[in-house]
């Protein structure tokens, strides 16, 4: 598994893609987004209102953190049904060392007093407005098609995994296209 220490900008780029996909995957909101997990934790007409009441200074972070955790759990459940789940690198599973760095970076941002939009390089605004074509444009890499094969449980990326972790996150997010009725879990299979 990956064990290197990542710099802040790389961690922020990964978090930005995680938060964007987690937000887009919500299904209990009105209007529904991709409906990959049964949450409504962002919108102020749903769970976001409760979090705003409970955590007025950090509710935006708390909402994104909660929906990110829902995505992590969905990802984990899918990986557990696959061979060698700890050897699969997904947008929501980077191995213990990098996942801990991501959690620490998120905690640092929550205490910064700045909003997610001010802190993370989000590819689109994560508000109540959802347009599928905007999300597609945000995740698409115009000059590149991510090669994958459909495997039991997910989409195995057949292209070589980039050394850059930021580019790796971008590729994992782009491999969600075309969108499916369920979370398609793009992944790289790590060697031994």
Residues 15, 2, 92: CA angle, nearest 5 degrees: 35
Is it true that the peptide bond before 178 is cis, omega within 30 degrees of 0? yes
CA neighbor of 94 nearest in space, from 154, 168, 156: 168
Q: What integer is the mean pLDDT of 165-186?
A: 98
> Which residue from 113, 180, 106, 188 is spatially nearest to 149, judged by alpha carbons?
188
**Predicted local distance difference test score (pLDDT) of residue 106:** 97
Q: Give bridge partners of residue 191 from the DSSP assignment.
A: none
Mean pLDDT to the nearest integer, 109-119 = 94
* 3-state secondary structure string across 71-92: HHHHHHHHHHCCCCHHHEEECC
The per-residue pLDDT of the chain, averaged, comes to 91
Reported residue count of the chain is 192
CA-closest candidate to residue 124, choices 14, 8, 21: 21
> The whole model's pTM is what?
0.92
Q: In Å, what is the CA distance from 13 to each residue of 28, 31, 32, 70, 121?
A: 27, 27, 25, 19, 6
Q: 40-58 pLDDT, tens per residue?
A: 756 666 655 555 556 567 7
* pLDDT of the residue at 52: 59
């Amino acid at each position: 598994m990956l064990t290197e220490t990542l710099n802040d900008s790389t961690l922020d780029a990964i978090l930005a893609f995680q938060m964007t996909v987690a937000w887009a995957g919500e299904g209990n909101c009105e209007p529904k987004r991709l409906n990959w997990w049964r949450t409504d934790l962002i919108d102020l007409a749903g769970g976001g209102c409760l979090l705003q009441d409970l955590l007025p200074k950090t509710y935006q972070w708390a909402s994104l953190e909660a929906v990110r955790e829902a995505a992590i759990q969905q990802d984990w459940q899918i990986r557990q049904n696959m061979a060698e789940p700890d050897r699969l690198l997904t947008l929501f599973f980077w191995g213990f060392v990098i996942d801990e760095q991501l959690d620490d970076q998120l905690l640092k941002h929550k205490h910064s007093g700045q909003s997610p939009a001010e802190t993370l390089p989000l590819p689109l605004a994560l508000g109540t407005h959802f347009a599928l074509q905007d999300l597609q444009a945000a995740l698409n890499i115009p000059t590149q098609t991510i090669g994958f094969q459909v495997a039991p449980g997910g989409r195995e990326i057949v292209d070589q995994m980039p050394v850059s972790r930021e580019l790796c996150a971008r590729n994992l997010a782009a491999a969600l296209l075309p969108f499916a009725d369920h979370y398609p879990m793009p992944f790289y299979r790590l060697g031994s």
